[in-house]
Amino acid sequence: MAMTDVLSAEDIKKAVGAFSAAESFNYKKFFEMVGLKKKSPEDVKKVFHILDKDRSGFIEEDELKFVLKGFTPDGRDLSDKETKAFLAAGDKDGDGKIGAD
């Protein structure tokens, strides 16, 4: 499954482009711009599974660093600071990874 099976290619391009500058990534704004906020829980899980490259059922820090590339190959890598902030926001139980729920 491709990301464009769930999200609009145009929305992905706009969202990734909006955060192309280093240290500019804001996950809340990104998810809103890419259209995830309007999607069903089922569609959000589809996107999660696309981003879960190792199919572990979790998105770990090393996968988060490349999250923008998960939406489009043109995306940049997140900085260590951006990655750690994103992980802290999504890691509800402190185990160092983000689950689908």
63 is in an annotated binding site: yes
DSSP lists the bridge partners of residue 101 as: none
Residue 43, sorted as left (phi over 0), alpha (psi -120 to 50) or beta, turns out to be alpha
- Hunting for tokens 């959000």 — which residue is that? 44
Tell me: is residue 24 an annotated ligand-binding position: no
Does 80 belong to an annotated binding site? no
60 annotated ligand binder: no
91 annotated to bind ligand: yes
62 is in an annotated binding site: no
Q: Can you say whether residue 99 is alpha, beta or left, with left for phi > 0 and alpha for psi between -120 and 50 degrees?
A: beta
56 annotated as a binding-site residue: yes
Using an 8 Å Cβ cutoff, are 68 and 19 in contact?
yes
Q: Return binding residues.
A: 52, 54, 56, 58, 63, 91, 93, 95, 97
Q: Return binding residues for Ca(2+).
A: 52, 54, 56, 58, 63, 91, 93, 95, 97
